[in-house]
Amino acid sequence: MVPTISLNEFIELYADDVTLIDVREPHEYVEAHVPGAILAPLSELPRHLPTIPHQGTVYVICRSGRRSLSGAEAMAAHGITAVSVDDGTMGWINAGQEVVTGTAAR
Protein backbone atom coordinates (compact mmCIF):
# COMPACT_ATOMS: atom_id res chain seq x y z
CA MET A 1 0.00 0.00 0.00
CA VAL A 2 1.39 3.38 -0.99
CA PRO A 3 1.16 6.38 1.32
CA THR A 4 -1.41 9.12 0.87
CA ILE A 5 -1.23 12.76 1.84
CA SER A 6 -4.15 14.96 2.77
CA LEU A 7 -4.90 17.80 0.43
CA ASN A 8 -4.17 20.33 3.18
CA GLU A 9 -0.73 18.78 3.80
CA PHE A 10 -0.02 18.81 0.07
CA ILE A 11 -1.04 22.47 -0.22
CA GLU A 12 1.43 23.26 2.59
CA LEU A 13 4.37 21.59 0.82
CA TYR A 14 3.38 22.41 -2.75
CA ALA A 15 6.08 24.35 -4.58
CA ASP A 16 7.32 24.73 -8.13
CA ASP A 17 9.92 22.02 -7.57
CA VAL A 18 7.44 19.35 -6.39
CA THR A 19 6.98 16.59 -8.96
CA LEU A 20 3.23 16.18 -9.44
CA ILE A 21 1.82 13.64 -11.88
CA ASP A 22 -1.81 14.03 -12.98
CA VAL A 23 -3.23 10.63 -13.98
CA ARG A 24 -6.55 11.90 -15.33
CA GLU A 25 -7.46 11.73 -18.99
CA PRO A 26 -6.29 14.54 -21.31
CA HIS A 27 -9.72 16.17 -21.61
CA GLU A 28 -9.92 16.44 -17.79
CA TYR A 29 -6.40 17.88 -17.59
CA VAL A 30 -7.17 20.54 -20.21
CA GLU A 31 -10.27 21.69 -18.29
CA ALA A 32 -8.25 22.49 -15.14
CA HIS A 33 -5.14 21.17 -13.42
CA VAL A 34 -2.77 22.07 -10.63
CA PRO A 35 0.00 24.36 -11.92
CA GLY A 36 3.07 22.27 -12.66
CA ALA A 37 1.19 18.97 -12.87
CA ILE A 38 2.54 16.67 -15.56
CA LEU A 39 -0.06 14.67 -17.49
CA ALA A 40 0.44 10.89 -17.50
CA PRO A 41 -3.02 9.32 -17.87
CA LEU A 42 -3.56 6.16 -15.86
CA SER A 43 -4.68 4.42 -19.05
CA GLU A 44 -1.25 5.16 -20.57
CA LEU A 45 0.89 5.05 -17.43
CA PRO A 46 3.20 2.17 -18.47
CA ARG A 47 4.38 4.29 -21.42
CA HIS A 48 5.15 7.23 -19.12
CA LEU A 49 6.99 5.31 -16.39
CA PRO A 50 10.48 5.79 -17.91
CA THR A 51 10.05 9.59 -17.84
CA ILE A 52 8.83 9.82 -14.24
CA PRO A 53 11.65 10.67 -11.81
CA HIS A 54 12.96 7.71 -9.83
CA GLN A 55 14.73 10.01 -7.35
CA GLY A 56 12.85 11.81 -4.60
CA THR A 57 9.12 11.76 -3.97
CA VAL A 58 6.53 11.97 -6.73
CA TYR A 59 3.01 13.12 -5.85
CA VAL A 60 0.13 11.70 -7.83
CA ILE A 61 -3.21 13.45 -8.32
CA CYS A 62 -6.45 12.72 -10.15
CA ARG A 63 -9.99 14.07 -9.87
CA SER A 64 -10.85 12.86 -6.38
CA GLY A 65 -8.17 10.41 -5.19
CA ARG A 66 -9.11 6.97 -6.50
CA ARG A 67 -7.10 6.88 -9.73
CA SER A 68 -4.14 8.58 -8.09
CA LEU A 69 -3.90 5.75 -5.58
CA SER A 70 -3.84 3.20 -8.42
CA GLY A 71 -1.27 5.27 -10.29
CA ALA A 72 0.92 5.64 -7.21
CA GLU A 73 0.78 1.88 -6.64
CA ALA A 74 1.85 1.24 -10.25
CA MET A 75 4.71 3.70 -9.90
CA ALA A 76 5.83 2.18 -6.59
CA ALA A 77 5.94 -1.24 -8.25
CA HIS A 78 8.55 0.26 -10.61
CA GLY A 79 10.75 1.70 -7.85
CA ILE A 80 9.27 5.20 -7.73
CA THR A 81 8.53 6.75 -4.34
CA ALA A 82 4.94 7.83 -5.01
CA VAL A 83 2.36 9.44 -2.73
CA SER A 84 -1.32 9.78 -3.63
CA VAL A 85 -2.94 13.17 -2.98
CA ASP A 86 -6.31 12.76 -1.22
CA ASP A 87 -9.30 14.72 -2.58
CA GLY A 88 -7.51 15.34 -5.89
CA THR A 89 -7.94 18.21 -8.28
CA MET A 90 -11.56 18.80 -7.27
CA GLY A 91 -10.44 19.29 -3.68
CA TRP A 92 -7.69 21.62 -4.89
CA ILE A 93 -10.24 23.70 -6.81
CA ASN A 94 -12.74 23.67 -3.93
CA ALA A 95 -9.97 24.93 -1.62
CA GLY A 96 -9.63 28.00 -3.85
CA GLN A 97 -6.17 27.12 -5.15
CA GLU A 98 -4.87 28.34 -8.51
CA VAL A 99 -5.50 26.15 -11.56
CA VAL A 100 -4.21 26.12 -15.12
CA THR A 101 -6.28 25.35 -18.21
CA GLY A 102 -5.03 24.01 -21.50
CA THR A 103 -2.18 21.65 -22.19
CA ALA A 104 0.73 23.48 -20.57
CA ALA A 105 1.99 22.12 -17.24
CA ARG A 106 2.93 25.63 -16.09
Question: In whole angstroms, what separates CA 74 from the centre of its chain?
Answer: 13
Which residues have CB under 8 Å from 84's CB, separation 6+? 2, 3, 4, 5, 59, 60, 61, 65, 68, 69, 71, 72
Count of beta carbons in the 10 Å neighbourhood of residue 54 = 12
Q: Is 62 a catalytic residue?
A: yes
Residues 19 and 44: beta-carbon distance below 8 Å: no
Catalytic residue among 40, 62, 83, 85: 62
Residues annotated as catalytic are 62
